[in-house]
Amino acid sequence: RKEVEQDPGPFNVPEGATVAFNCTYSNSASQSFFWYRQDCRKEPKLLMSVYSSGNEDGRFTAQLNRASQYISLLIRDSKLSDSATYLCVVNLPGRRALTFGSGTRLQVQP
Amino acid sequence: EPEVTQTPSHQVTQMGQEVILRCVPISNHLYFYWYRQILGQKVEFLVSFYNNEISEKSEIFDDQFSVERPDGSNFTLKIRSTKLEDSAMYFCASASGTGNQETQYFGPGTRLLVL
C-alpha cells in the first residue's frame, strides 16, 4: 500500500465551483500533514498545514480524520489561478523528511 | 520575503560525469533537504542535513550521492557518476526546525538531464 495516496484526477471544474480532494495515508502514527501546491515544472509551495481540529484559510479548508487516516482539501469559489497539482504531504513518525502523494491535478475552466 | 535559491536552473551532462547542484537555503534555517522529482512522478526525499552532518537519507541516496555545506551559506548535492535514471528535477528545501509542524521551503529546482 502506498504511504500517501491521492486520486490523480484531473478534476475539470468551472470557475466559481467548489471542489474537494481527498488523500489517505497508511501509517496511523503519522504526525504532521500538509497540502502543497505545485504548478507545472515548478517547486512545491506550501498551501496550508492541516491541524486535527481542521483549519481554514480564505477559500481553502483542510480537514484531518485520524480514525480513517484521510485528509481533505476543499476549495470554494474556484479561480482560474487555482489550476495546479495539489500534493498531499505527510511526516512519517520520527522523521522530518516529507512523504509526498502523487498529486491531484485541478483544471479550472472559464 | 527570504527564499531558497538554486543553481544552475538547468544542467545537461553525459552519463558517467560528475555534477554538483548548489543551493542557498534561507539564512536562519538549520535543516536542509534534497528531494528529486522524475518527470511525471512524485516528489521523493533524498537526504536531510543538520549540524553539518546527514541526519536522514533514503534508499535512493546511495554511494553515488554526497552532500556538503562547504561554507556558511551553500548546500551542495554531488552526483559522482551520473546515470540516465538520475535525470530529474532536484529540489533543495530548508526549514527553521522550530514548532510542531515545521514548514519546509523549496527552491525553484535544478533540472538535470543525463544523456
pLDDT tens digit sequence for B47-96: 999 988 999 999 999 999 999 998 878 999 999 999 999 999 999 999 98
The answer to whether A90 contacts chain B (CB < 8 Å) is no
Q: How far apart are CA B22 and CA B9, in angstroms?
A: 10
Q: Which amino acid is at B48?
A: S
Q: How far apart are CA B34 and CA B84, in angstroms?
A: 19
The answer to whether B101 contacts chain A (CB < 8 Å) is yes
Q: How far apart are CA B28 and CA B9, in angstroms?
A: 23
Count Cβ–Cβ pairs < 8 Å, chain A vs chain B. Answer: 53
Q: Do A42 and B100 touch (CB under 8 A)?
A: no
| Planar angle of CA A83, A79, A50, nearest 5 degrees | 70
Of B2-6, B32-36, B71-75, which range is least confident?
A: B71-75
Which residues of chain A have a CB within 8 Å of the CB of B103? 34, 46, 49
Instruction: Please state the separation of Cα A30 from the chain's center in Å.
Output: 15
pLDDT tens digit sequence for A32-88: 999 999 999 899 999 999 988 889 999 999 999 999 999 999 999 999 999 999 999
Q: Which amino acid is at A98?
A: L
Q: What DSSP character marks residue A53?
A: T
SS3 A32: strand
Nearest to A102 among B42, B100, B104 (CB): B42
The answer to whether A42 contacts chain B (CB < 8 Å) is yes
| Mean pLDDT, all residues of chain B | 93
Max Cα distance, chain B (Å): 43
